[in-house]
Amino acid sequence: MAITIQIRPGPNFAAEILAGLQEAFDDHLKPIVEKRSAEAVGRVQKNVAGLHTDVPVLRIRSGAAVTSIGSILEEAPMSLHATVGAVAAPPEVEEYLWTNEEGKTIRPVKAKKLAFPPGENWHPETRDSSGTQIATARDIIEDPPSYGFKRVATLDKAIVGISAATGLAEVLFIRRLSVKIPPRRPVSREQDKMVEDMEKDMDGIVVR
């Protein structure tokens, strides 16, 4: 999942570049493209970092997804291609980003229902300090004491744990037959901003 933008001379660009002075083209454009690409990377990373609270039904990969975001600059005669996005993402992270980008209906594969934490109100034993899910519903059901519970009950719409410390019931997971993930576009929604910034810096340059 990435934005790819081509930068090439337009009809109003400086005469010496249109005449074919590649060195002038590189000297003028490359620093601008590198700067604006780095800024776009930062914005995309910020968008991706927020996905773990926005989309709790997905197995959390926001940390890996954030680190996969970067930029690549490809050079050709009188042309530059800037790519910003998941340039180093393993397949599972690429799938995670595509799901958030385009939207998808998630359905259970092996279980009867999906089980996911209730938004931001997740139990500390099921996530680490960064919010990454470290315990699944099956993990807790099979070994409640390891996660601080006397027992765990699977209800029609939720999985509830009884705290060993307080004896109080707590909703650990919501159960659904399916969940529709809307298109959130953490990557592509930054394309217009990236193009606009480059065009401001490059009078007479075609950015697309």
Helices marked H in the chain: 15-18, 22-49, 51-54, 62-68, 91-102, 137-142, 191-201
**Statement: the pTM of the whole predicted model exceeds 0.75:** no
Reported confidence tier of residue 152, pLDDT bands at 50, 70, 90: very high
Do both 16 and 91 map to the same domain? yes
What pLDDT sits at residue 177?
A: 92
Do both 79 and 146 map to the same domain? no
Q: Dump pLDDT digits (tens) for 53-107.
A: 544 445 545 678 888 899 988 877 667 788 888 887 888 888 888 888 999 898 8
90 vs 163: CA distance, rounded Å: 37
Question: Which DSSP string corresponds to 124-140?
Answer: TTTB-TTS-B---HHHH
Q: Dump pLDDT digits (tens) for 22-43.
A: 665 667 778 888 888 899 999 9
Reported confidence tier of residue 153, pLDDT bands at 50, 70, 90: very high
117 vs 135: CA distance, rounded Å: 10
Q: Where in the sequence is the domain holding 148, given as residue range(s)?
A: 108-177
Do both 14 and 80 map to the same domain? yes
Number of domains in the chain: 2
